[in-house]
Amino acid sequence: MSDILFDTVGRAGIVTLNRASALNALTEPMVRELGDALDEWERDDRVERVAIRAEGKAFCAGGDLRDVFERRASATPFFATEYCTNHRIGTYKKPVIALIDGICMGGGVGISVHGSHRVASEKLVFAMPETAVGLFPDVGASHILSELEGETGLYLGLTGARLGRDAAAEIGIVTHPTDASRMGDALDRVAHGRDLDGGLDELKVETEPRDPDEIAVIDEAFSAGSVREILDRLDATEGAFSDGAAKAIRTMSPTSLEVTFREIRRAKGESLAACLTMEYRIVCQILEGHDLFEGIRAILIDKDRNPHWSPATLEAVEKEAIDQHFKVPHDGDLLIPGAASR
């Protein structure tokens, strides 16, 4: 059975992620096939919209990092293909509806949040936890996070914090919060409904607001001019929330933290294509380094959860090393089909 399935039902092209045992982690063939299907359906007048759904308890937990670990620097084509598919979704001429009924992290964010509609149930767990494995928020996440109100985007990028359906809806990640029991209805309305927006709007449920005190801490601490200063501000703020955020940051790859800080700051106001081009530059350098493979080893391979970062501290990270992540790779920038004409 294929890891990704394609069908046409009623008015819609239906994509089903079918790798449930691996939490629907994306492989290079999966993102390539998804991009090809989108190209075909965009030319097909019988397909009015596209839905992306998944089997199992996860929508998509991210990219297949075990494969990246094995391929090392030769994994560059996976990221290039993935980023081009992310751009395809973000610039698609027809509605793309993600039906998210579970975990949505990393690569799962890239194939959902760039679309026009994000329907999510109370089972949603949203996060960009890349700094924990020596990576950085990619798949166009710099574009998404940099545009969130206040400093929430930088907070999510640095800490890898997880959000549920209600918080994700409040910040705009989810457009249609609903209940798990109505996800089948959502798929039916995508496939057969004449009025897509009206049909999905009927499935919306009321959500609980975020804690205003936590938002205040985020906006104050993460508006600082450096990761080090963010930590200083969190340390100076009493409370379990600020303590937890500081503790999380201190477990992350120092290099990833510095890259992520600069990445999200630079992404503000930039197009999705520009952000993906920047992210490709970063990942090419990351794949030549140490921390990503050490993070994957510690979290996914040996599972000792004790990565040995190099450099091991923020103070030891050199500015010149971070600068290198934002330079054009030896083999050139990412070529995104259609980016210049859109």
- Indicate which residue of 138, 263, 279, 294 is catalytic: 138
Measure the CA–CA gap between 273 and 230, rounded to whole angstroms.
29
As a residue count, the chain comes to 342
Instruction: Give the CA dihedral 17, 100, 119, 218, nearest 10 degrees.
Output: -130
Question: Of these residues, 35, 102, 107, 108, which one is catalytic?
Answer: 107
Is 150 catalytic? The answer is: no
**203, HSE (Cβ side, Cα atoms, 13 Å):** 28
Catalytic residue among 63, 108, 153, 157: 63
Active site residue 239: no
- Least Cα distance to 235 among 224, 223, 225, 246 occurs for 246
Please give the Cα distance from 202 to 200 (Å, whole number): 5
3-class SS at 215? helix
Catalytic residue among 28, 130, 166, 294: 130
Alpha-carbon torsion (304, 308, 312, 318), positive or negative: negative
* Residues 161/248, Cβ–Cβ less than 8 Å: yes
Q: Helix (H, G, I), strand (E, B), or coil: what is residue 207?
A: coil
Say if residues 84 and 128 touch (Cβ distance below 8 Å): no
Q: Which two tokens stand for residue 128?
A: 């960009």
Assign residue 74 a region (left: φ > 0; alpha: ψ between -120 and 50; beta: otherwise): alpha
Annotation marks residue 130 as catalytic: yes
**Calpha distance 301→64 (Å, rounded):** 12
Closest CA to 31 of 3, 9, 58: 3
Q: By C-alpha distance, which of 63, 168, 156, 185 is closest to 120?
A: 168
Distance CA 142, CA 161 (A): 15
Residue 35, token pair as written in the block: 């991009």
CA–CA distances in Å: residue 149 to residues 26, 68, 110, 173, 184 = 29, 33, 19, 11, 32
Give yes or no: 243 in active site: no
CA distance 113 to 97: 9
| Residues annotated catalytic, as ranges | 63, 107, 130, 138
